[in-house]
């Protein structure tokens, strides 16, 4: 069964304290900020997980590939939608974007900055987990992210 979260890596910054640089014209930082709000705001958090868990989990059966939490499915599906990109680009972002990895509790702070904890995603894992979301779920996720973003 998909778990909601992994325990954060030792030494990682709490997700609510991740600094997301907003002085950018890139479309991703404001969306990452909205995801951060969804993570720690109990109402948004509950609503988002209800949307995703209704698709990813049905009864006691697990759908998708093992090794990905519900939070990771949420983050990756929103990032893919935001960037309007394919799974190959998403794979690159998932494995090498330090801000995104911090938001998932994967980046560990050391004396030199942030470094990945070694967890890497496969193309198959992304496709089989994010691919579970139907159009209705994607529209609900998008509407919630827009609602959160409008309130920031």
pLDDT per residue as tens digits for the range 105-147: 887 665 555 554 568 899 999 999 898 888 999 999 999 999 9
The DSSP symbol for 66 reads T
CB 119 within 8 A of CB 58: no
Q: Which helix (H) or strand (E) holds 123?
A: helix 123-130
pTM for the full predicted model: 0.85
- Residue-wise pLDDT tens digits, 26-62: 999 999 999 999 999 999 999 999 999 888 876 544 5
């Amino acid at each position: 069964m998909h778990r909601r979260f992994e325990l954060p890596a030792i030494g990682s910054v709490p997700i609510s304290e991740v600094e997301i640089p907003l002085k950018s014209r890139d479309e991703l930082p404001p969306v990452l900020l909205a995801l951060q709000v969804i993570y720690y705001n109990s109402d948004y958090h509950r609503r988002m997980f209800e949307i995703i868990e209704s698709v990813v989990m049905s009864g006691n059966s697990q759908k998708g590939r093992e090794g990905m939490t519900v939070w990771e499915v949420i983050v990756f599906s929103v990032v893919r939608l935001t960037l309007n990109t394919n799974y190959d680009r998403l794979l690159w972002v998932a494995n090498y974007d330090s801000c995104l990895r911090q938001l998932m509790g994967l980046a560990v702070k050391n004396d030199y900055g942030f470094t990945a904890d070694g967890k890497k995603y496969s193309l198959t894992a992304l496709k089989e987990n994010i691919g579970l979301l139907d159009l209705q779920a994607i529209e609900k996720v998008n509407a919630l992210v827009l609602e959160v973003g409008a309130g920031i």
